[in-house]
Amino acid sequence: MTDTDSLAILAFEGFEELDAIGPYEVFQGARSAGADWTVELLATAETDRVSAAYDLRVEPDGVLSADADLDYLVVPGGGWNDGDGETGARAVARDETILDAIRALHAEGTTLLSVCTGAMVLSAAGLLDGRPAVTHRSALDELRGTDAEVVDARVVDDSDIVTAGGITAGIDAALWLVEREWGAGVATAVAETTEYERSADVYRA
């Protein structure tokens, strides 16, 4: 018997709803189809409630920390182009405490999955340097200005870091991760249950 894997989705003020909730439904659906993992939402700081980009409010299960025991961490985007940077992914990309936690988790073996401009958070942490990646089309020029290797694909799988393009691409990335970790049968079952037509546009490094 193997230990149950742990998967968390980062929930910060101003996150894009579908970036997080789409993968959340995929991952929970995968549990029903046989994936042996726990799925939770983790905030960036102690709070009872987090407000997303379009005012959806969620209650996180805990707080992300550098010593969290996580097999997978999903970093959504949101609000990157809003300008003020007080909330959303741009604020997270300037939060050294969170960046340090993400770096530490990755160093300890946590697989990272970014959705949309969540890739810019990983880039700010220095984790995409020299690696293939993609982000929302509105931030591609900024990503090209870093040391990442921008790839024209909906999902980019570079083993321990998976990046997805804009918003709904997170569903494809989540289904891809499910297939990679738990098999095509589990991923197909989730896609059929959610009546989602998957994209085959996956770049594997």
Active site residues: 116
Cα dihedral across residues 142, 148, 152, 154: positive or negative: negative
How far, in Å, CA of 11 to CA of 175, rounded? 20
Which residue has tokens 């985007």? 77
Say how many residues make up the chain.
Answer: 205
Q: Is 52 helix (H, G, I), strand (E, B) or coil?
A: coil
Q: What is the signed CA dihedral for 144, 146, 152, 158, rounded to 10 degrees?
A: 180
In whole angstroms, what is the distance from residue 8 CA to residue 73 CA? Answer: 5
- With a CB cutoff of 8 Å and minimum separation 6, the contacts of 53 are 14, 15, 16, 17, 78, 79, 88
Instruction: Give the span between the Cα atoms of 70 and 65, in whole angstroms.
Output: 10
The alpha-helical segments, DSSP class H, found in 47-150 are: 89-92, 96-107, 118-124, 140-144
In the numeric block, which tokens belong to residue 73? Answer: 């961490």
